[in-house]
Structure 1
Amino acid sequence: MTTTKPNTGFWIIAVLALLWNLMGVFQYLSTTLWADAIKEALPPEQVALMDALPSWYSYVFAVAVFAGVIGSLLLLIRKKLAVPVLGISLLAVLVQMGYWLFATDVMEVVGMSSVVMPLVVIIIAIFLYFYSKGAAQKGWLR
């Protein structure tokens, strides 16, 4: 398949995807490097939620955000490898957010507002995966 030049929207989405995923890396690093400072600012119930997370949760979080950054960079350099890498990010997001929403008491502790950000993250991860697949099918990726 020959590659074709992507439209302007592709470049806007790829740059926004990278910025979004870099914010995810910042969030990951914040919760790992500055966990104590974050916990000092939270109510005890929320600290208990964070402390009760299994050790694998942090690894899945890392896979989600770092695969997202790599996948976004691959989009920017127009590589088909972006599709499976963003797929890995999506899978990790689904595991991470699914656990957070359904295996913890976050909705009882924080309320229904605790659902908003995880849903936004899931929706964006789904979008980026399927957008990368579409970009590959249109010949924008090599």
Structure 2
Amino acid sequence: MRPPRWYRLLVGMLLLWAALSAYACVTQLMAGAGAAADPADRALLAALPGWYWLDYAVASLGLLVGALALLLRRRVAVPALTVSLVAALIQFGWLFAMTDLLARRGAGTLFFPLLILLVGAVALQLAHLAARRGWIG
């Protein structure tokens, strides 16, 4: 069964978002802590544990794989997007619970991470809908 036009449009937008996410991840991993202008941010980035960066990569790569799978109409989109969302939850949960970032920067710091989690949740729901309707298989 061919998916509707709105689905293909959403998947295209998700793929663009995922590509930007993967680019941001690679750029940040390559630049390291020294790229941060603020000394407090440099110290925070330098102090992040190694698993944090791996988790960030898993979240970004999972989103990209999931978006590509939706585009190619493959069912692997559901587990890939699940892994991505769980990894992002771990990443942001740890960052805000275990560092002083929120206290230093304020509640406005939550906007982009919450947007990222919202997009991940919507992408996962879209994958479940596509699986139920037979658009992926």
Match of residue 60, structure 1, among 51, 55, 58 = 55
Residue matched to 1:94:
89
Distance 1:104 1:36 in 2: 15
Distance 1:101 1:108 in 2: 9
Residue matched to 1:105:
100
After TM superposition, the score normalised by the length of structure 1 is 0.91
Give deviations 1:1-41, integer Å, cap 9, x for gaps.
xxx110011111111111111111111111111225522xx
Residue matched to 1:26:
23
Residues 80 and 141 in structure 1, CA contact (< 8 A), matched pair in contact too: yes
Residue matched to 1:78:
73
Structure 1 segments of 4 or more deviating over 6 A?
Answer: none
- Structure of greater relative contact order (alpha carbons < 8 Å, 6+ residues apart): 1
Residues 71 and 86 in structure 1, CA contact (< 8 A), matched pair in contact too: yes
Residue matched to 2:45:
50
Q: Which deviates more, 76-85 or 43-52?
A: 43-52
Unpaired stretches in structure 2, ≥5 consecutive residues: none
Match of residue 9, structure 1, among 6, 9, 29 = 6
Q: SS of the residue aligned with 1:102? A: helix
Residues 46 and 110 in structure 1, CA contact (< 8 A), matched pair in contact too: no
Instruction: Calculate the aligned-residue CA RMSD, in Å.
Output: 1.2
Residue matched to 1:130:
125
Give deviations 1:49-91, integer Å, cap 9, x for gaps.
1112111000000000011101100000111111111111111
The total of aligned residue pairs comes to 137
Distance 1:98 1:31 in 2: 19
Percent identity between the aligned chains? Answer: 28
Distance 1:72 1:133 in 2: 13
